[in-house]
Amino acid sequence: MEKKLIVSDPKVMMGKPVIAGTRITVELIIEKLAAGETIDQILEAHPRLTPKMIQAALAFAAEALRADVIYPVVEAGV
């Protein structure tokens, strides 16, 4: 059985999903990628991370967005 890479504990980062054994949140990884950082840059900045951990964060975020919730998008200037 594979170790769970994304965990949530109310005692760590207020319960936000993090990479297991770290205080690095899924949110931080997504924000860095959205800001244009490459996976290599993230790995360099956070040596405890592996490409597999970043992939797990992305998979977790994708799964979280699959919920039956509508997120209205408002265009700028409207």
Domain that holds residue 53: 6-65
Q: Which residues pair with 19 in a beta bridge?
A: 6
DSSP state of 12: S
Give the number of domains in the chain.
1
- Read off the pLDDT of residues 29-68 as tens digits, 9 standing for 90 and up: 999 999 999 999 999 999 999 999 999 999 999 998 887 7
Q: Is 19 part of any domain?
A: yes
Q: Is 34 part of any domain?
A: yes
CATH code, 14: 1.10.10.10
The reported pTM is 0.82
Q: Are 26 and 17 in contact (CB under 8 A)?
A: yes
